[in-house]
Amino acid sequence: AVPVILDCDPGHDDAFNIMLAAAHPAIELLAITTVAGNQTLEKTTLNARRVCTVAGIEGVPIGAGRDRPLHGTASVAVGIHGESGLDGPGFGEPTVPLDPRDGVTLIRDTLLAHPVPVTLAPTGPLTNVAALLLGHPRLAERIERIVLMGGSTGRGNTTPAAEFNIVCDPEAADIVFSSGLPVTMMGLNASHQVLATADVIARIDALGTPLSRLCTELLTFFAAAYREVFGFTAPPLHDPLTVAHIIDPQLVGLVSASVAVELTGTHTRGATVVDLDGVTGRPANAQVGMDVNVAAFWDLIVEAVRTLGGH
């Protein structure tokens, strides 16, 4: 199985990525770290513990990472994920504990303890990953690769040019894309193909377990938010493209390209400038997700909820 650390800001779609990573036998989930993004660090961390509790995911350490970007102040996505960051279902008090180590230390310790290099799957702002690379540059060799959700080959979703995870901490994103590590980017151009339609929600609901009911409530809230904010008929389940790609490398078509993060644009800060046509002459620094096998993606998600089952 591929050893993976999830770095996330749950977040409805982050929650499904956690479940997919925990459920699938091709993944060895080593740790979960949280970051401020969709909501405050306090809330995203509580939500990671909530998801693990309701899904019966035990023994995976959860560490709270950075509460703000490398520069500037944190912003949250209340309109999309609600006041809690995971609005929709009711949650009880989580029983899964919080690891006492801060998130960046937890990533460091996990990389050092694991016998082979580990894949990082960040699905929030890249603050923790950048802090790790800045603070412990020698640990880069312990990282197999980074498969992230963020950016876009085209339009943004937070500004016309920028996607949420990147625009929340563009300097961190720049550090990751410039790191020299193998980076795979699942951006909006890919994630807007995996829409949780009524059919998909019905398949999950039909599993008939307490967890499937909770997932249905999550997706129903997420769908209403995307309808309200963006006029989408169904919400894109962005983040699980990362783990789905690690499980099944054929699931998303990739192209190698140069990706530059805009840091200074007047209207475009946080944009990922993806040179698909090779016009800049800059060498490729990322594999960029393009065409998604949508049916295979939803089969993985439904199967994950089924596997985690009775919880």
Residues belonging to the active site: 238
Site string for ligand BDR, 211-250 (x = CB under 6 A): ---------------------------xx-----------
- Under rule CB under 5 A, residue 123 binds Ca ion: yes
- Under rule CB under 6 A, residue 157 binds ligand BDR: yes
Token code pair at residue 114: 């694991």
How wide is the angle at C-alpha 245 spanned by C-alphas 31 and 65, nearest 5°?
Answer: 30
Using CB under 5 A, pick the residue from 124, 125, 151, 187 that binds Ca ion.
Answer: 124
Give which of 16, 23, 19, 32 is closest to 1, Cα–Cα: 23
Give which of 81, 105, 92, 93 is closest to 33, Cα–Cα: 105
Give which of 224, 231, 240 is closest to 81, Cα–Cα: 224
Using CB under 6 A, pick the residue from 45, 110, 127, 165 that binds ligand BDR.
Answer: 165
**Residue 141 carries which DSSP code?**
G
CB closer to ligand BDR out of 21 and 149:
149
Using CB under 6 A, pick the residue from 15, 27, 80, 261 that binds ligand BDR.
Answer: 80
- Look at the block and give the residue holding tokens 């096998």: 293
CB closer to ligand BDR out of 174 and 239:
239
Q: List binders of ligand BDR among 16-75 (CB under 6 A).
A: 38
**Residue 258 carries which DSSP code?**
-
The entry of Ca ion, ligand BDR, none near residue 47 (CB within 5 to 8 angstroms by kind) is none
- Under rule CB under 6 A, residue 163 binds ligand BDR: yes
Please tell me the chain's helix, strand, coil percentages from 3-state DSSP, rounded to the nearest 5: 40, 20, 40
Task: Answer whether 121's CB lies under 8 Å from 5's CB.
Answer: yes
Q: Least distance (Å) from Ca ion to the CB of residue 169?
A: 13
CB closer to ligand BDR out of 126 and 131:
126
Q: Least distance (Å) from ligand BDR to the CB of residue 44?
A: 10
Q: In Å, what is the CA distance from 37 to each residue of 57, 133, 253, 300, 309?
A: 23, 19, 27, 26, 29
The entry of Ca ion, ligand BDR, none near residue 87 (CB within 5 to 8 angstroms by kind) is none
| 3 state SS for 29-95 | EEEEEECCCCCCHHHHHHHHHHHHHHHCCCCCCEEECCCCCCCCCCCCCHHHHCCCCCCCCCCCCCC
Q: Least distance (Å) from ligand BDR to the CB of residue 281?
A: 29
Token code pair at residue 155: 């339009």
- Look at the block and give the residue holding tokens 């490729």: 284
Q: Least distance (Å) from ligand BDR to the CB of residue 165?
A: 5
CB closer to ligand BDR out of 101 and 103:
103
Amino acid at 160: P
CB closer to ligand BDR out of 60 and 166:
166
CB closer to ligand BDR out of 75 and 179:
75
The entry of Ca ion, ligand BDR, none near residue 174 (CB within 5 to 8 angstroms by kind) is none
Residues in contact with ligand BDR by CB under 6 A are 11, 13-14, 38, 77, 80, 123, 149, 157, 163-165, 238-239
Residues in contact with Ca ion by CB under 5 A are 9, 11, 14, 123-124, 239
